[in-house]
């Protein structure tokens, strides 16, 4: 794998460009995930909100780049991309699993530069101080693939294809190494509101563990539990998007109301 110096624009994807939007919903993928995971969300947003999906290096159209080695490297690069791209818009950050930690760290850096987001929503990840170290990144390819199957966020047929596995697993392993060796500053606090969401059957991020995110901000905190396991948001995209918009004070599109 070659190492290149990415441009700022290489970090952000716009599945449905909305140049006149007043708010950018910036979405951070899970370990091994890519910007395309959030593409279906773009059409669920109202006209004045544009989806920006973060593309980590080492996957899809960035497969030739070395994956980020540390949280500081990853969050610092995304924060810089957002500072350049912002164009006066309000930012709302959403991250799932590993992406929750990347979103929080990015928000801390944005606030440090005086360009903090309006709201941060973290999903499927224990709060700082309850995050679990792990050794999944040390497993062989079969062990790594087995973990992906267990969590259910990757189509099994992709893991059955040797050529796809060869392209997919290096980035997955790098992401797991990053997040399993990551040690958050438990004294760090955002100033903006923070919402934490998890599935009621998510063993990777229990309701009690996710509630610890209330210590990660000095702003208002809201906890939300939805039905499902670690990838509860796949089957409930409309409900999750409506909840994110509601948390930020933006109305959900009339065609996609919040479900009971």
Known catalytic residues are 97
Can you say how many angstroms the Cα of residue 70 is from the centroid of all Cα atoms in its chain?
A: 16
Token digits for 64? 């030739």
30 contacts 96 by C-beta, under 8 angstroms:
yes
Q: How far apart are CA 27 and CA 55, in angstroms?
A: 9
């Amino acid at each position: 794998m070659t190492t290149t110096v990415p441009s700022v624009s290489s970090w952000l994807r716009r599945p449905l460009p909305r140049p006149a939007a007043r708010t950018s919903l910036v979405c951070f993928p899970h370990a091994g995930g890519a910007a395309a995971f959030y593409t279906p969300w773009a059409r669920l947003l109202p006209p004045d909100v544009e989806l920006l999906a973060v593309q980590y290096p080492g996957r899809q159209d960035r497969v030739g780049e070395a994956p980020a080695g540390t949280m500081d490297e990853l969050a610092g690069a995304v924060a810089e991309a957002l500072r350049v791209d912002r164009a006066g818009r309000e930012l709302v950050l959403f991250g799932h699993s590993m992406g929750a930690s990347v979103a929080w760290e990015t928000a801390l850096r944005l606030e440090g530069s005086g360009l903090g987001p309006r709201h941060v929503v973290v999903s499927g990840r224990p709060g700082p101080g309850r995050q679990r170290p792990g050794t999944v990144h040390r497993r062989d390819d079969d062990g790594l693939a087995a973990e992906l199957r267990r969590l259910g966020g990757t189509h099994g047929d992709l893991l059955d294809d040797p050529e796809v596995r060869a392209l997919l697993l290096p980035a997955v392993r790098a992401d797991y190494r990053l997040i399993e060796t990551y040690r958050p500053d438990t004294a760090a606090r955002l100033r903006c509101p923070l919402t934490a969401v998890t599935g009621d059957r998510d063993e990777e991020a229990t309701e009690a563990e996710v509630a610890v995110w209330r210590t990660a901000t000095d702003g208002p905190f809201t906890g939300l539990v939805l039905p499902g396991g670690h990838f509860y948001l796949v089957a409930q995209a409309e409900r999750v998007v409506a909840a994110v918009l509601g948390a930020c004070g933006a109305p959900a599109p009339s065609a996609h109301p919040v479900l009971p």
